[in-house]
Structure 1
Amino acid sequence: MTIGSLIIDMRSVVTVASFITFLGIVWWAYSSRRRESFEQAAYLALNDDDLGDMPRRENKHG
């Protein structure tokens, strides 16, 4: 076994491991158990409830 063939084998292993990791992330993201928490996170920027304690910045542009 030469170094070249070892590198090719390692590239194959890394590619397969990366693809399996990608599939795991997709499965996790589209899991029905995650839907509610992702929907809540999607509206975090629109909720002003948590901004009550933060001082407002003045707009200094024009």
Structure 2
Amino acid sequence: MDINELRSIVTVVSFATFLGIVWWAYGVRKNRQRFEEAAQLPFADIEAEMAERGLASRNEQRKTS
């Protein structure tokens, strides 16, 4: 086995791993809600901090306007 065969094997394994990650992230429907909730976590922290300080969130300001 020379270095070029090893490079080919590593390339194929890396591509298969990439495809597996893409399938896991986008293909499995049960993960979709969990990922959507995780995507909103930074905004939830901001909302909680603003509530502690007694400030209205942007959503609340829009509702009252």
* Residue deviations 1:11-46 (CA, integer Å, cap 9, x gap): 000000000000000001012111010110111111
How many pairs align? 48
**RMSD between aligned residues:** 1.7
User: Which residue is equivalent to 1:32?
Assistant: 29
Which entry has the higher C-alpha Rg, 1 or 2? 1
Letter in 2 for 1:41: A
* TM-score, with structure 1 as normaliser: 0.67
Structure 1 gap segments, 5+ residues each: 54-62
Structure 2 gap segments, 5+ residues each: 53-65
Letter in 2 for 1:37: R
Structure 1 runs (4+) greater than 3 angstroms displaced: none
Q: Which structure is higher in helix share? A: 2
